Amino acid sequence: MNKSILLILLFLSGIYLYAQPTGYYNGTEGEDGEALKSTLHQIIDQHTVFSYFSTKSVLKFSDADPVNSSNVILVYTGRSQDNSDYGTGVNQINREHVWAKSHGNFDEVYPMYSDVHNLKPCDCSVNQDKSNKDFDNGGTQHNEATGCYYTEYTWEARDEVKGDIARIIFYMSVRYEGDNGEIDLEVVDAVNTYPNPEHGKLSTLLEWNLQDPPDDFEMNRNNVIYSWQKNRNPFIDNPEFAQLIWGGEIASPLKIGDVAMNPSQPIAGTPVIISADIISSEIDVTEATLFWGLAWNDLSNEVEMISTGGHYHGEIPGQDEGTTVFYKIEAVDGMYSSNTVTYNYYVPEIFNGTITSIFDIQGQQSSSPYDGQVVSTTGVVTGNFGNNYFIQNGYGEWNGLFCYDPGRNPEVGDSLVLTGTIDEYWGLTEIKNITGYYRISIGHTLPATAIINTGDAGEPYESVLVKVLNATCTDANYQANYYMWKVNDGTGTLLIHNSPIFEYDPVEGDAYNISGPLNFDFDEWKIELRSEEDVQPGEDNISPTIESVAAITNSIIKISFSEDVDETTAETVANYSINNDITVLEANLHSIVKSDVYLTVSEMDAEEYEASVQNVEDLSGNVMDPVTIPFTNASSIGDDLLVSDMNLFPNPANNNLNLEFVCRNTSYVHIKISDLMGNEIFEKGAETTIGENSFQVNVSGFSAGFYIVSVTFSNHRPVYLKFLKK
């Protein structure tokens, strides 16, 4: 399978690969107020969620110092600081939740908690002083963040980031609307509304939004976060959205919608057609112009757009490979004017080189024959975890490769060509130091997963999409094992990694079908989880067992199974027997707890018995192994019984239940009534007299069903009786 292929491919580099995609805000035209807020919510909802731990990796790029990429800019001080210097020291870095997490109480509640649009690097001591204050002007100047001012309840950000802060608060209010189990966050024109899910002060934030418009730093931040989370902050792309939602501005009746480009993937030297539907509800459109340029803030080229029945199009001349083109559309109708946000597209470079297949890179051996060499290879992205991703070229063994490529976030299904160095990183074959990143196309179907046993994980499947079937969770405590839980299908243990983008809470003993790329680090094989689709219930192939047998009364025995059991086999009397000539009269499955069976038997008078059980099935049809289990009849009081002629009537009872017995000596009796779930319903204690004793309990308020009456005399074991409430 040695292959060397000469290909002409598309090269994409730079953050603008993830910048403002054409038509992202289609549907917002002509809207304002709650309607616009709702439409924007639908556009930015359901983003890719990363763990809070992983957000540090995002901030390294989103808030990088333009002068020193190893540093980040701290939000309130403006200080440039080592991007790895996180900690609790007074001048170390904290992650500031701009919308304070206590405003709605979403500490460690996802996705709000780890949404990077809401996180900023911040000086630790400044972060503590800012605390959960609302935003407003005025107060005392801060002694370290000297551009900031504060009062008991408010914080004024420095002028350079006032707009940044406002647009983050606006984003949170639109992104989180209370659907999908999330919190409804609302920006309000008030302060000190904590702990309500509210943040203010709206009127001040609207002023800050206008006072400090987006700059290159904020634009880059939006692009970087979009590359990870796959959603954008609309108020950075178009600050006017805030005025339309909360500032009282009315949307223009001149609408520019359905913005599109053709071809969708530009080609060097080939013109790009930009089109849109432009409609005015007042008068005819008089002019539509396409403005474009090679910087987002310099659209100096103009193209008159041509109309065909309200559908307009304009042509941007073909550009050289490696060029990013920015554009927007403006229209007028004599009374109103409208414009789109500034979109952009990238003209890919052309790669002309030799491809080394992943199969050859893996070399069908533990160490790659290309270790230390620079190669170009190709594959489809099968999983992206932020700082790294996996590619695969074809099905099965030796066709997967781990890619260490921080700062670049391809979509699953992207077909890529990568140029980089092959390295054996502690036994894992990877490509790193990637100097060429070529995206051929998008939306590819992933290679089929290779079905393996849990004990078969090894070199041939390194970085390959695999799947294990009916693997039982043997250790669910992933919190104590670096977010990894264990499964076994009978062939050996395999780790399952709750990755930075998806965490599953397994149930020990349950069986699962699990898919994902097979990774190797710290001398351990593990499947990396990508989404909820990677963990599905497996087929139950484990037979039920008996956990306990207990005598409830002299004629009631409770048998508890390890799982829910089938009603038909559980209630088959022939499946149960008790030694010492005890007859099983009835078998009843509990109406709620489907793992408990209650046997009604002939009167037991001895203390030690054995119960034999067979042929009971679970809900998947697995049949238990026959078993005999000893148990004690604790209800047997013995020869020193203080009472005789104990009677419970009427049974079934409707309103009043009577308990009568004859007592040979004075004593103290404790009467308790519980349902079959063990919930105590009634309790009473009383002194007894010699001779006949009688107690009455009003059961009219009890729900229909069986109950257990426990009667306990001083220094004796309890007597258990059963009654039915009609």
* Res 1: pLDDT: 34
Q: Which helix (H) or strand (E) holds 94?
A: strand 93-97
- Of residues 619 and 239, the one with the higher pLDDT is 239
Closest CA to 463 of 377, 568, 586: 377
With beta carbons less than 8 A apart as the criterion, state whether 580 and 598 touch: no
* Res 606: pLDDT: 83
| pLDDT higher than threshold 90 for residue 722 | no
With beta carbons less than 8 A apart as the criterion, state whether 567 and 618 touch: no
| pLDDT higher than threshold 50 for residue 6 | no
Helical ranges in 230-327 per DSSP H: 234-237, 240-245
- Centre a 10 Å sphere on the Cβ of residue 26 and count the other Cβ atoms it contains: 17
Q: pLDDT tens digits for 705-719?
A: 888 888 888 767 677
Say what the alpha-carbon torsion angle 233, 411, 259, 39 is, to the nearest 10 degrees: -40
Mean pLDDT score of the chain, rounded to an integer? 91
Lowest mean per-residue pLDDT among 138-147, 220-229, 435-444, 663-672? 663-672
Cβ contacts of 22 within 8 Å, gap of 6 or more? 259, 260, 261, 274, 343, 345
* Res 715: pLDDT: 64
* Res 19: pLDDT: 62
- Centre a 10 Å sphere on the Cβ of residue 354 and count the other Cβ atoms it contains: 11
Helix, strand, coil abundance in the chain, percent, nearest 5: 15, 40, 45
pLDDT band at 178 (very low <50, low <70, confident <90, very high): very high
pLDDT > 90: percent of the chain: 75
* Res 642: pLDDT: 55
* Res 532: pLDDT: 92
* Res 335: pLDDT: 87
Q: pLDDT tens digits for 302-353?
A: 999 999 888 999 999 999 988 999 999 999 988 889 999 999 999 988 888 9
Q: pLDDT tens digits for 474-516?
A: 999 999 999 999 999 989 999 999 999 999 999 988 899 999 9
Question: Average pLDDT in the 45-56 region?
Answer: 92
* Res 155: pLDDT: 98
d(CA 217, CA 344): 17
Q: Which domains does the chain have, with CATH numbers?
A: 31-245 (no CATH), 252-349 (2.60.40.10), 351-441 (2.40.50.200), 450-537 (2.40.50.140), 546-632 (2.60.40.1220), 643-725 (2.60.40.10)
Q: pLDDT tens digits for 254-285?
A: 999 999 999 988 999 999 999 999 998 777 88
Lowest mean per-residue pLDDT among 48-62, 220-234, 535-549, 629-643? 629-643
pLDDT > 70: percent of the chain: 95
SS3 state of residue 572: coil
Q: pLDDT tens digits for 7-16?
A: 333 333 334 3
- Of residues 90 and 430, the one with the higher pLDDT is 430
* Res 638: pLDDT: 39
Question: Average pLDDT in the 209-234 region?
Answer: 96
d(CA 73, CA 94): 12
pLDDT band at 82 (very low <50, low <70, confident <90, very high): very high
3-state secondary structure 34-83: HHHHHHHHHHHCCCCCCCCCCHHHHHHHHCECCCCCCEEECCCCCCEEEC
The answer for 505, left when phi > 0, alpha when psi is -120 to 50, beta otherwise, is beta
**Do the bridges between strand 254-262 and strand 272-280 make them parallel or antiparallel, or are there none, so unpaired?**
antiparallel
* Res 635: pLDDT: 55
